[in-house]
Structure 1
């Protein structure tokens, strides 16, 4: 196996290409957009996660803990800005204290450096925070993930990889004598293997290749606000609530980025288009595909009330959005917020309506399909890439 085609030019596709190149393979990367990291990678919170939240032994737990170290090391080696600043997960009320301690036990199980601190100790990190206790997670970092992608592209270009922007995969079939053939607007490409890292379109690319994926992508939009420049001093680093264990989302939180700006969010609402960053972004095809999938309706029955209602209400009302932040930092009010960017999460859902809560990778002959890789996939990208190369049987 000498030649591999990677579909998708976000951080995961580029990381896979880099790993395969390092293992001596010639790689072609196909990205349908005219720039790298155009969607999930370029619209996330730029947080390097510690591996705190995930079920012990799961791929997310293993690969995010390892990825926390490898992506920070990569950034430092390649001159990409990164700050290992740590974060606070706060119990705002006594009712949340047991869940906080449960989270601390999970951190210990996963090998994540974290310390339970008192309210007074929490205010030494974040003077404006309101809590009864907090978990200080020491290895959380902020980074510039698009800059990581630029570094990967530069490295791949120097190594002779074939990098093709504006080149969607229009058709995929197995070759007559093994391998794969991929139709593009510029002609048919042939390779020994295919890796699908298409993110929001990963299930579609799998079907294009003749695979019936076990789960379906349902897009969720996460909306952010930012603090006005004169109110940024209210947040020194990262402040998170204790998450709802029934949901894959971490709750509205506060993140100081490398440029000093403070992002608040995201909420999570159903996107009406796979790349729908606003309510008015609607695709009839995408929406019909979502609504005709039985898993969507089963998911809605599980979470529509009260979680779904609360998320939509937060999306439509800046006052409600601000109220979520006031629980964490009482000094923040509606007037302090400016509507910011949004991202869309490619969340895979099983047909029974349960959310796929781990990375999901499925294989076929000469093919690897990464079907569920939302957060912490950017943190884990280099580790997922190594796993993909191993699945192809390509030795280090």
Structure 2
């Protein structure tokens, strides 16, 4: 059985779940590399590593019973083109390359997608300079097909959209990222990798004796334990833990910062008979004074149209309903100095988001700026997602990738992806290339 190393014993072998047992005693699992986190970044990175190193044994550990259960399965499904990001930045390069790789991958794997485009629409004259600046930024980022269009051209593309000018991005698309994540997992398994679900990590440490009984030192010097007391041994660890990336890092002795603060985004949905109002993605011109993009219109692969999201503090890191609450998650967030400073800097914006989260008509008013024909009878409350927002103690949102290996003996064996910011799903294949190269360099693979 690939990736499993057991002491020899007489008698029959018994398969318990996905793990091998000898006379009812679980055998230890040993791997060259373990990836913790079965979201889209962890899956893409594991896939890239095993394709580059087919002779090594890799495993993915996922705490849920299914992969892509959280951010990777609770998002808008947009394939972003790379307009918003600072030219030359890592995010800009990874998004543009990632989108290109993702389209090719979907073609290769026959995963359905729609390149339906996006309009970033100015509804007020004071937004036009920001729109033109976005256009210039997109050109510098080598985003294909960008053009500025007028009100008449807006109506030709989106007959029910009201705007005075827009940035047209035909390269933007939509896809079901759960399907993409599942395909990454299938590739990983087909290449010989193991996926262990229901494995919630509680401890990562160095061991003092080899699980294989080798006399030549520790062949697998890192032990990973879960909440059930089960163990996996390996040479190297990569963590891609999303909403729990800070806690998992601290388990291995790394810094407490950047801290993850969860923000819930609630969507509305158009009633099916009103979906004709939206053809492609319709976005507002972002306001640099505020940390999030604002409400937008997003067509889905299943034919639905999502409206939103807002952005409010989540009372639980994986809480998708207003009533979901975790005393630990909430307490850590509200007592964190970084969040308090962010709230003070954006108090009016934050209060507005909370108000719109509670009252549909308030959110409808924002949406009607773009499609005036919308009425309260056209919309329903829809799904929610929770964003893992990395934040420093000064209240600054961490907007780039953060790697951490900590210090001490384990530092040479572990790499934490502390922050993989949006658009991580779009960029997943490009991010995986970068992470795999980082792993190779750090661990001398």
TM-score using structure 2 length:
0.86
2:177 maps to 145
Aligned counterpart for 1:245 among listed residues 288, 303, 306: 288
CA distance in 2, matches of 1:360, 1:106: 24
1:224: which partner in 2? Answer: 267
Measure, in 2, the Cα distance between the counterparts of 1:60 and 1:248: 16
Structure with larger RCO (C-alpha < 8 A, sep 6+):
1
8 Å CA contact 2:254–2:404 kept in 1: the answer is no
Instruction: Give the match for residue 384 of structure 1.
Output: 431
Q: RMSD of the alignment, in Å?
A: 1.6
1:111-130 → structure 2 map (5 Å cutoff): 111-113=142-144, 114-130=146-162
**Which secondary structure does the structure 1 equivalent of 2:132 belong to?**
helix
Distance 1:60 1:229 in 2: 35
3-state secondary structure, aligned to 1:160? coil
Q: Which residue of 2 aligns with 1:55?
A: 86
- Tell me the equivalent position of 1:22: 51
The 1:169–1:227 alpha-carbon spacing in structure 2 relative to 1, beyond 3 Å, is same
Q: Does 1:136 align with 2:179?
A: no
SS in 2 for 1:379: coil
1:156 positional shift: 1.6
Equivalence for 2:360: 318
1:262 and 2:326 are equivalent in the alignment: no
Q: Which residue of 1 aligns with 2:37?
A: 8
1:347-374 CA distances to partner (integer Å, 9 max, x unpaired)? 0001111111222222342222111223
Render the CA deviation track for 1:93-124: whole Å, top value 9, x for unaligned: 11111111111111011111211111111111
Q: CA deviation at 1:262?
A: 0.5
1:106 to 137, 146, 157: 137
The 4+ residue runs of structure 1 with deviation greater than 6 A are: none
Question: Aligned residue for 1:337?
Answer: 379
Q: State the shift of 1:179 in Å.
A: 4.8
Post-superposition offset of 1:213: 4.2
User: By how many angstroms is 1:260 displaced?
Assistant: 1.4
CA contact (8 A) 2:205 2:223 kept: yes
Report what 2:197 is aligned to. 165
Is residue 366–residue 392 contact of structure 1 (8 Å, CA) maintained in 2?
Answer: no
| SS of 2:427 mapped into structure 1 | helix
Partners of 2:281 and 2:172 lie apart in 1 by 9
- Which segments of 5 or more consecutive residues in structure 2 lack a partner in the other structure? 1-30, 209-217, 406-410
Partner residue of 1:205?
248
